Structure 1
Amino acid sequence: MMSKLQGAMTIDVEDYFQVEAFAKLVDRNKWDSYERRVAGSTRKALSLFQQHDAKATFFILGWVAEREPELVRDILAAGHEVASHGYAHQHVCGLTPEQFREDIVRAKGILEDIGGCAVQGYRAPCFSIDQDNHWAHEIIMETGHQYSSSIYPIKHDLYGVPNAPTEPFRLPNGLLEIPASTLPLGGKNLPISGGGYFRLLPLMISQWALKQHAKRHGQVVFYFHPWELDTEQPRMVDASRKSKFRHYLNLDRMEPRLSKLLNSLQWQSMADLYLTPDKTYPVVDWRSVKQAS
């Protein structure tokens, strides 16, 4: 019997009111005034993973971990990896190097204090590392992280570096960068990793695209957010039409689609799939990567 293709399942653990789509509506200083739903929706993901014998990496906001420490412990107890999503979901491009260092050191310390084990991975909010802030990779390495998953090699209005490598690569400082997965078509990289794209595209197309990437590269990276499993979350009535479309599209279809996806590949954590002694990666000088026009 042929073994299933391999994938790294990842979850950006943030609540519905912390997403970029609503950043202009929600004051970060008033997050505590909103109903927290992230623990319930994350535990729904944990249940799905258990049903399908899947392991995952949870990139958790430090702000969430502070308020839901038992959730962090439950994730670890279920055999998953805990990694960092920073503390306050701030775009790296909006921070100075000193502010960025403070944010990720704070988040890493909170997660390690709660979980009692080293945090190896980091993912920038909204994949917000590009050529203009490549210094962030130096700080990620200096602060004790072993890998980053902060690059999406696509063209998007909020993020993306279209000409970035589409396979994992090492920075000259030794840090491993694991990009979100794409599919080349017509000279461009099409996004196939992410709950929003997964909710938008027909399931058969998403599954086909993810398997194509896995066949080509040996594995695939997928990510989603806990709030995408929460159909009862409060609605942001004042959000723009575009933001509402991105956030609420097909939420009711996410759980059954995810269940089928979990059954179609062999899902592991980032650390288990990529941080193994037998894996070698090309070294890429990030500063030499040219931005597509």
Structure 2
Amino acid sequence: GYRAPAFSIGPRTPWAREILLETGHTYSSSVYPIRHDHYGEPDAPRQAHWPDGPGGLLEIPPATLRVFGRHLPAGGGGYFRLLPYRASRGALRWISQVEGQPAVFYIHPWELDAEQPRIPGIDLRTRFRHYLNLGRTEERLRCLFRDLSWDRMDRVFAAELAGSRDWPAGQEVAAQAV
């Protein structure tokens, strides 16, 4: 599996999926179907899909909720730090239990380092996004591991990777992207 930096695989980079296939990858989690000022493809499917058809690279997006016609982020990263813990846990449970879909969650290693150096001179919005709640992230993550069932993406999506489109409906499963 592969996850592109800043979710940078999309309509402008179709060649990237071809390279990933050539290098032996079978799936990617590189398209976040949300609207964001630095990344995102808000019209992309919320569930696992084959952008180039079966036999191509399976795209497995991070978890999102569909609310008032928009895809809202629910899959981790900064959103996990910025939003209340109950919102993240509730969103992942909803996707799993109500929608019957696996919920992909990711986190950056630096988000577990509350003592990381502070970069001087960055703008307020960047500082807020990057540093808010770093000291709480590890405990929140421990709670999430305790509160939900987890497995590797290749096992959660084994049927899709084998060519089947049948989902394990009703199972509470979240996949951790590494």
Per the normalisation by structure 1, the TM-score is 0.53
Q: Which residue, 136, 142, 152 being the options, matches 1:253?
A: 136
Give the Cα–Cα distance (whole angstroms) in 1 for the partners of residues 46 and 92 of structure 2: 13
Return the offset for 1:211: 0.7
8 Å contact kept, 2:47–2:101: no
The Cα of 1:217 is off from its aligned counterpart by 3.6
Q: Which runs of 5+ in 1 are unaligned?
A: 1-120, 283-293
Q: Which has the higher helix share?
A: 1
Number of equivalent positions:
162
Match of residue 152 from structure 2: 269
1:57-80 Cα shifts (integer Å, max 9, x gaps): xxxxxxxxxxxxxxxxxxxxxxxx
- State the 1:279 CA deviation: 6.5
Q: What is the alpha-carbon distance in structure 2 between the residues aligned to residue 242 and residue 142 of structure 1?
A: 39
Kept after mapping to 2: 8 A contact 1:167/1:217: no
Which position in structure 2 is the counterpart of 1:132?
12
Question: Could you tell me which residue of structure 2 aligns to residue 189 of structure 1?
Answer: 71
Tell me the C-alpha RMSD between the 2 structures.
Answer: 1.7
CA distance 1:243–1:129, shift in 2 (3 Å): same
What is residue 144 of structure 1 aligned with on the other side? 24
**Taking every aligned residue pair, what percent have the same amino acid on both sides?**
50
Q: Over residues 134-185 of structure 1, what are the superposed CA-to-partner deviations in whole Å (9 max), with x where a residue is unaligned?
A: 2211221122111111010001001111111111012324211101110000
Query: Separation in 1 of the partners of 2:81 and 2:12?
Result: 31
Contact 1:168 1:281 in 2 (8 A): no
Amino acid at match of 1:144: G
Which has the larger Rg? 1
Higher relative contact order (CA 8 A, sep 6+): 1
Distance in 2 of aligned mates of 1:178 and 1:201: 23
TM-score (norm 2): 0.85
How far 1:192 sits from its partner (Å)? 0.8
Quote the Cα distance in structure 2 between the aligned partners of 1:214 and 1:278.
Answer: 21
Correspondences of 1:117-266 after superposition (within 5 Å) = 121-170=1-50, 171-172=52-53, 173-215=55-97, 216-266=99-149
User: Does structure 2 conserve the Cα–Cα contact (< 8 Å) formed by 1:129 and 1:150?
Assistant: yes
1:76-111 Cα shifts (integer Å, max 9, x gaps): xxxxxxxxxxxxxxxxxxxxxxxxxxxxxxxxxxxx
User: Structure 2 stretches of 5 or more lacking a match?
Assistant: 167-178
